[in-house]
Amino acid sequence: MAFVPLKGVYVLDCSTLLPGPYCTMMLAEMGAKVVKVERAGTGEPMRTTIPGCFDYLNGNKKFVTLNLKQPKGKALFLKMAEKADVVVEGFRPGTVKRLGIDFESVKKINPAIIYCSLSGHGQTGPYANIPGHDVNYQGLSGLLNISGNPEAGPEFPDGFQAADLSGSMFALVSILAALNAKDKSATYLDISISESLAMWMMPRFFEYLSEGKPSKSKFMGRGPYGIFETKDGKYITIGVVENHFWDNLCKVLNFDDLASDPTLGSWHARNHERAKIVPRLKKAIKKKDADDWIRILTAADIPAAPVCDFEDWHNNPQFKYKNFIPTKTDGSIDRNAFRRFPLTDIKIDNQQNQEDTAIGKDNFEILTDLGISDTEIDAYKKEGVI
Amino acid sequence: MAFVPLKGVYVLDCSTLLPGPYCTMMLAEMGAKVVKVERAGTGEPMRTTIPGCFDYLNGNKKFVTLNLKQPKGKALFLKMAEKADVVVEGFRPGTVKRLGIDFESVKKINPAIIYCSLSGHGQTGPYANIPGHDVNYQGLSGLLNISGNPEAGPEFPDGFQAADLSGSMFALVSILAALNAKDKSATYLDISISESLAMWMMPRFFEYLSEGKPSKSKFMGRGPYGIFETKDGKYITIGVVENHFWDNLCKVLNFDDLASDPTLGSWHARNHERAKIVPRLKKAIKKKDADDWIRILTAADIPAAPVCDFEDWHNNPQFKYKNFIPTKTDGSIDRNAFRRFPLTDIKIDNQQNQEDTAIGKDNFEILTDLGISDTEIDAYKKEGVI
C-alpha cells in the first residue's frame, strides 16, 4: 500500500547550496511541508550560480524571505519555528547563535523541536571554523587518496558531490530517526559532512586493514572489473567479481587458457594478476560495438552495462521503462511528474512539484498562517524584513 | 536529549556483501535488533572475501544460519518473519518468490511487514535480471562519464562503492519512512541501486541542463578547485568557489594581477579561464609543505584540507578530537566504542557491538525465542537446516 510517510510534518529550512536543500527536498518529496527561508533581497547563492539545480532542489518547497539580522526578521523566524517539527540550517558554526535562532533559543519556545545543523566538520573541534567545499571533505575522508590512477597521485574524480550528499543523507536519516522516536523531547543533530563521507569510506578502511594495509596501487588494482572502450569509441563496464562470472567471461571471449589458469582462481588472485587479464580484455572488447557487447555479455550472465551520459538517460531501456525522465509533448521535462526519490511503495506527493520557484513567492501565505495581517506584511516588505 | 530511535524494532536480514548489510548495520546502530540470516554451512561470501569488512558491517547483529531451500528452513524463516517489523533481502529478482519467502508470502502471516528488496536495477524492467556490481551501476547512472581526466575518456575512480551505498542509503531512508508512517499496513520497498545512484546524479544533471549541455571537458573543468601537490610530495585540496574566497586566495599567494582580472570575476568565469589560474596555483603550492599550507590557507579563511590516507585518520586533529577511531591500549581498534553512525544526539546502542562474529552464533538464542526446543534445534543441525 502506497503512503505519504511525512504528511503533516513541518520543516523550516534556512540552508543553502546543495547539502541542506538536498536533504529537505527528500523530506518534501515524502510529504513534509518544507518552508525554505532565504535572505531577503538576493535569495540564496544557488539561484544565480546554477539556476537549474536550484529549481530541482527546491521545486517542491515553499519560498519565504527573511532578513534574519533584523530583530523583526528573527522574531518571524522564531514564530515559524514554534510551529515547526524540524529546523535545518547550514550556516557556519556560531552563526545561528549570533542570530539568536540556535537550538537553545528554539527549544525554549518549542520543546519538541528536531534541530539539525549541517556543516563541513561539525560544530566543535579544531576544524569546526574552517570553511570547506566538497573537494576538501573528499580529501579529508580518505576518498581522494584512493582515486584516479592506481600508479599515480590522487585525482579529483568530480562525478558527483559525494561529500555534500553524504551529509545530506545522514542528516535525512537522522531526522527520520528522530521523527520516529517515541520520546518527543527536543533533539539536536550535529551533522559533519567530512565525518559523514568518512562513514561511507569505512568498508574500504576495514578492507584496507583486512588486506594488511596494502599500497595504493595494490589496493586499487583490479582485474576484469572496470571500464573498457568498444569499437565505436563508446565505453562499457564489466564487473566480474565472483568465479562463476569469470568462467562465463572466459567462455564468451574464448580465454580458455585464462579460465584454466590456477593463478586466477579468485577475485583477489585476478586483481593481483591483472597484468595477465586487463590488456587482453581491452583488446577483445575493442573488437565490437558497445550495444553488441552489452547484448552478448548480459545474455551470457556477465555483469555488464553501458557507460551512459545524461543524454543516454532518455533512451536507456531500463530508465525508459521506469519513466525516469518524464517529458511533456514538447520534449521538456515534466516537473509535475518528476520524481526526486527512487521508485518504491512510498507515495510521492507530486502535488507539491511546481515550475514557479520565484523568491519570496509564499511570503503572504506563510505569514498569514502565522496570523499576521496584510498591513503588517506590507510594512515588513517596506522595512526589508521579508 | 540522546535517544535510541529504533529500540524494539526487529529486522530480519538475508542480504549479502555490501548494499543490504550496510543498510541493516545502520538500523542496528540505531537500536534495532537485526538478525542476519546466512546460508547454512558456508555463510555469506563477504566472510571469506573481505573478513575485516564483514566484521565491520555485521558486528552489531545476531547471526543465524538457515538452509532456505529446505522446507524446514523456509518454515523457520517465515516463523521469524511473523515477528519481524522489517525484512531486507538482496537476492536476484525472482529468487525470494521461488523460495517462498517473498513479500506476498510474508504479508499473509504478517500484515504490517515492511519488506525491502534491494537489487541492481529493481524488480522489473528489461535490466531486472542482468547481474551487476558497483562499477556497472556507476556507468549506467552517468557518474563514470564525468569522472577522471576532463580531456579523456571515463575512468573508474574506485574510492568507495558509490552505487552500492546509494542503494543502502535509499533503502535505509525508505525503511525509516515506512516505520514512521501512521498507517501500519504492509509495505513493499523495491530499491534499485542503479536508480538510487542516478538520484545522486540529479544535481549534476540539472547543472548540465542549466549550463546548456556542455562538453565533458567544459563541464568538468575547474579553476582553483581541486588537488594540489606540495613540496614534501603530499597533497592538499583547495575548494575556492565564492568570490570572497578567491580574493583571500589571491591575497595569500600575491596573485594581484589575477585578483584584479575582470575575466575571473565569478566561479563560472574562473572555471572557464582555468588555464590562467591552475598552472600558477600548482607552481605556488609546490613551494611549501602540506602542513604549512593548511595552516596558512585556513588562517586566511580559504577552504583547504589535507588529502588523508587511512593512516592519517589516526592523527588528523579533527578526527582525533571526535575519537573517530577509538583504540585500545594495545593500539587495536576498540570495537565496543566504535561508531558506525556519525556523531549526533542519537544515542548509539554500543552494547550490541561485539568482536565475535562466528557463523550461526545466535542460532540457539533466536530459535529458542521462537519456542523451539533444544532437541528440535539439535535435529535441525543434523539435517543441515541450520
* CA B340/CA B55 separation, integer angstroms: 12
User: Which one of B22, B139, B317 has the shortest CB-CB distance to A307?
Assistant: B139
Angle value at C-alpha B273, between B272 and B279, nearest 5 degrees: 125
Q: What is the pLDDT of residues B260-296, one digit of tens each?
A: 999 999 999 999 999 999 999 999 999 999 999 999 9
Q: What is the pLDDT of residues B136-178, one digit of tens each?
A: 999 999 999 998 888 889 988 889 999 999 999 999 999 999 9
Closest CA to A169 of B30, B246, B170, B255: B170
Taking residues B245-271, report their average pLDDT.
97
Q: What is the pLDDT of residues A230-276, one digit of tens each?
A: 999 999 999 999 999 999 999 999 999 999 999 999 999 999 999 99
User: What pLDDT, on a 0 to 100 scale, did the predictor assign at position B348?
Assistant: 60
Cell of A166: 553524504
Amino acid identity of residue B63, one-letter, is: F
Handedness of CA B208, B210, B213, B214 (dihedral sign): negative
The count of other CB atoms within 10 Å of the CB of residue A270 is 25
B 128-147 → A contacts, CB under 8 A: 130-147
A345 falls in which pLDDT band (50, 70, 90)?
A: low
* CA A91/CA A118 separation, integer angstroms: 8
Q: Which residue of B has its CA nearest to A113?
A: B1
B341 falls in which pLDDT band (50, 70, 90)?
A: confident
pLDDT at A288 over 80: yes
Cβ-Cβ contacts under 8 Å between A and B: the total is 418
Closest CA to A85 of A16, A166, A31, A22: A31
Q: What is the pLDDT of residues B202-216, one digit of tens each?
A: 999 999 999 999 999
Q: Do A188 and B298 touch (CB under 8 A)?
A: no
User: What pLDDT, on a 0 to 100 scale, did the predictor assign at position B7?
Assistant: 87
Beta-strand pair B235-239/B304-306? antiparallel
Q: Do B237 and A153 touch (CB under 8 A)?
A: no
Mean pLDDT of chain B: 93
Query: For residue B151, which residues of chain A lie inside 8 Å, CB to CB?
Result: none
DSSP H or E run through B96: helix B95-99
Q: Do A180 and B185 touch (CB under 8 A)?
A: no
pLDDT at A355 over 80: no
Query: For residue A347, which residues of chain B lie inside 8 Å, CB to CB?
Result: none
CA distance B234 to chain A (A): 9
Beta-carbon contacts of A309 under 8 Å, excluding residues fewer than 6 positions away, are: B142, B145, B216
Instruction: Tell me the backbone φ, ψ of residue A63, rounded to 5 degrees.
Output: -115, 115
pLDDT at B352 over 80: no
User: What pLDDT, on a 0 to 100 scale, did the predictor assign at position B16?
Assistant: 97
Percent of chain A with pLDDT strictly greater than 70 = 97
A173 falls in which pLDDT band (50, 70, 90)?
A: very high
A184 falls in which pLDDT band (50, 70, 90)?
A: confident
SS3 state of residue B4:
coil
User: What pLDDT, on a 0 to 100 scale, did the predictor assign at position A374?
Assistant: 96
Rg (CA), chain A: 25
Of B338 and A169, the one with more pLDDT:
A169
CA distance B69 to chain A (A): 20
Query: For residue B213, which residues of chain A lie inside 8 Å, CB to CB?
Result: 310-311
Q: Do A322 and B186 touch (CB under 8 A)?
A: no
Q: Which residue of A has its CA nearest to B212?
A: A52
Taking residues B302-319, report their average pLDDT.
94
SS3 state of residue A39:
strand
User: Which one of A132, A173, A305 has the shortest CB-CB distance to B239?
Assistant: A132
User: What pLDDT, on a 0 to 100 scale, did the predictor assign at position B340?
Assistant: 82
Domains identified in chain A and CATH numbers: 10-203+344-382 (3.40.50.10540), 222-306 (3.30.1540.10)
CA distances from A224 to A238, A283, A302 (A): 7, 13, 11
pLDDT at A350 over 60: no
**pTM strictly above 0.80:** yes
Percent of chain B with pLDDT strictly greater than 70 = 97
B 48-67 → A contacts, CB under 8 A: 49-53, 55-57
User: What pLDDT, on a 0 to 100 scale, did the predictor assign at position A185?
Assistant: 86
User: Which one of B162, B202, B298 has the shortest CB-CB distance to A56?
Assistant: B202
Angle value at C-alpha A84, between A79 and A89, nearest 5 degrees: 90
DSSP B350: G
CA distances from B373 to A60, A286, B64, B82, B376 (A): 55, 61, 16, 19, 5
* CA A259/CA A279 separation, integer angstroms: 16
Q: Which residue of A has its CA nearest to B31?
A: A177
Count of alpha carbons within 13 Å of A26, Cβ hemisphere only?
Answer: 30
A271 in reach of chain B (CB within 8 A): no
Q: Do B133 and A225 touch (CB under 8 A)?
A: yes
Which of A6, A121, A237 should one mutate to test binding to chain B, selecting the residue with the greatest count of B CBs within 10 A?
A: A237
A354 falls in which pLDDT band (50, 70, 90)?
A: confident
User: What pLDDT, on a 0 to 100 scale, did the predictor assign at position B336?
Assistant: 74
Closest CA to B57 of B161, B149, B157, B145: B161
Q: Do A189 and B136 touch (CB under 8 A)?
A: no
CA distances from A372 to A63, A80, A365 (A): 17, 12, 10
DSSP letter for each residue of B107-168: HHH-TT-EEEEEESS-SSSTTTT----HHHHHHHTTTGGG-S-TTS------SS-HHHHHHH
Query: For residue A308, which residues of chain B lie inside 8 Å, CB to CB?
Result: 139-142, 145
Query: For residue A321, which residues of chain B lie inside 8 Å, CB to CB?
Result: 124-126
Cβ(B162)–Cβ(B168) under 8 Å?
Answer: no
Burial class (CB in 10 A: 0-12, 13-18, 19+), A111: exposed
The count of other CB atoms within 10 Å of the CB of residue B363 is 20
What ipTM was predicted for this assembly? Answer: 0.96
Taking residues A311-322, report their average pLDDT.
91
Q: What is the pLDDT of residues A371-385, one digit of tens each?
A: 999 999 999 999 999
Considering A321-325, A344-348, B182-186, the range whose residues carry the highest mean pLDDT is A321-325
Closest CA to B72 of B369, B294, B381, B281: B381
- Checking B99-103 for CB contacts under 8 A at 24+ apart, the result is B99/B68, B99/B69, B99/B74, B100/B74, B101/B14, B101/B68, B101/B74, B101/B77, B103/B186, B103/B188
Q: Do A237 and B138 touch (CB under 8 A)?
A: yes
Cell of A248: 562465463
Burial class (CB in 10 A: 0-12, 13-18, 19+), A330: exposed
Q: Hey, which bits of chain A come out as E strands?
A: 10-13, 33-39, 62-66, 86-89, 114-119, 187-192, 225-229, 235-239, 304-306
Lowest-confidence region among A334-343, B13-22, B82-91, B119-128:
A334-343
User: Which one of B133, B210, B226 has the shortest CB-CB distance to A51?
Assistant: B210
User: Which one of A53, A149, A343 has the shortest CB-CB distance to B206?
Assistant: A53
CA distance A38 to chain B (A): 18
* CA B133/CA B18 separation, integer angstroms: 10
Burial class (CB in 10 A: 0-12, 13-18, 19+), B119: buried
SS3 state of residue B214:
coil
Q: Do B18 and A304 touch (CB under 8 A)?
A: no
Cα-based torsion angle of the residue sequence A203, A207, A209, A212 in order, rounded to the nearest 10 degrees: -170
Which of B175, B296, B307 should one mutate to test binding to chain A, selecting the residue with the greatest count of A CBs within 10 A?
A: B307
DSSP B273: T
Q: Do A158 and B147 touch (CB under 8 A)?
A: yes
Sort residue A300 into left (φ over 0), alpha (ψ -120 to 50) or beta: alpha
Q: What is the pLDDT of residues A82-112, one digit of tens each?
A: 999 999 999 999 999 999 999 999 999 999 9
User: What pLDDT, on a 0 to 100 scale, did the predictor assign at position A347?
Assistant: 63
* CA B334/CA B311 separation, integer angstroms: 16
pLDDT at A160 over 50: yes
Mean pLDDT of chain A: 93
Percent of chain B with pLDDT strictly greater than 90 = 81
CA A230 vs. chain centroid, Å, equals: 31
User: What pLDDT, on a 0 to 100 scale, did the predictor assign at position A1?
Assistant: 43
Q: What is the pLDDT of residues B293-309, one digit of tens each?
A: 999 999 999 999 999 99
B30 in reach of chain A (CB within 8 A): yes
pLDDT at B329 over 50: yes
Closest CA to B139 of A227, A2, A382: A227
B158 in reach of chain A (CB within 8 A): yes
The DSSP bridge partners found for residue B12 are: B35, B87
* CA B221/CA B237 separation, integer angstroms: 16
Strands of B62-66's sheet, edge to edge? B62-66, B33-39, B10-13, B86-89, B114-119, B187-192
Which of B1, B6, B160 should one mutate to test binding to chain A, selecting the residue with the greatest count of A CBs within 10 A?
A: B160
